[in-house]
Amino acid sequence: MNTDVLPATLETLVCRGCPNMTEIDLALPDSLRYLELESCDRLESVRTPLPNSLRVYKCVRCEDLEAHPDPLPDGLHTFEHVSDAASYMGRLPEPLPSALVSLKCKGLNGGVIENVPREWPQNLRVLDLGRSSLFDRLCGLPMSLETLDLFMCDSMPALPHDLHTLTNLRSLDLTGCDEIQHIPYGSLPNNLVHLVCNEMYELVSLPRRLPPSLRTFECESCDRLERFPEQLPPTLQLFVFSNAKRQPPLLLPPIPVGTTAVDRSV
């Protein structure tokens, strides 16, 4: 890739569907703030250091890319790695930038990430690890976290043991976490607002009471579930459930006044 023709003041660079590009090896402009690499099928390496000015770095469906530049710029706010690979997704750079706010590392068809960060950025707010496999060691998440997406992380046997300490966490998606059998009472943070537990086929038990600030609770197609929570919080605005494969159907808890209950069984 020849960047000699790029203006020195360039702030945004998007390389999308570049079939002949195998590497990026020339200096990127020091003014660059946004870099996106998408569907560059033959791209194997980004040899040049990323500029310190960079705030957003996205790498989407570049399946031949062996590694990201390491280290990433310390001022990077958003790092996104999305892969179609069905087995191996590579390594996350370490250490992750201290200013990182959003980290999305998703395997659209599954995929194993080789390493788990030893330390998470302390300002991280969004962590999206959907359809990835690395979670038997997931712990030490930062207190700043607001959104945790573990969609289809079917290798994770249990919730992170310190999840309840994440007092800023507002949204948790556990859809398709097939290995989780129990969500114990007290394991969820009290300030949680949105909880999704769909298609957790091995889930047997939910906590008898949900976080008191919860507004949305989804629990569909959890075929082994033995009971719903005894009590729903009065803050709940939406309760989505299904009892289609249960005979007799599970007994529903009392529905708070003002809560919309949606039965997807029918």
Query: What is the pairing mode between strands 56-60 and 45-46?
Result: unpaired
User: Who wins on pLDDT, 245 or 36?
Assistant: 36
Per-residue pLDDT band for 15 (boundaries 50, 70, 90) equals: very high
Hey, is 164 helix, strand or coil? helix
pLDDT at 68 over 50: yes
Parse the chain into domains and list their residue ranges: 1-118, 134-266
Which own/partner contact pairs does 238-245 have at CB distance under 8 Å and 24+ positions apart? 238/262, 240/264, 241/265, 245/221
The DSSP 8-state label assigned to residue 205 in this structure reads B
pTM, two decimals, is: 0.91
* Model confidence band, residue 90 (pLDDT cutoffs 50, 70, 90): low
pLDDT at residue 82, as a whole number = 86
pLDDT at residue 146 greater than cutoff 90: yes
Q: Is 137 helix (H, G, I), strand (E, B) or coil?
A: helix
From CA 206, how far away is CA 184, in angstroms rounded? 6
Q: What is the mean pLDDT of the chain?
A: 87
Distance CA 82, CA 66 (A): 13
How confident is the model over 26-61, as pLDDT tens digits?
788 999 999 999 999 889 888 888 999 999 999 998
Model pLDDT, residue 106: 79
Share of the chain above pLDDT 90, in %: 55
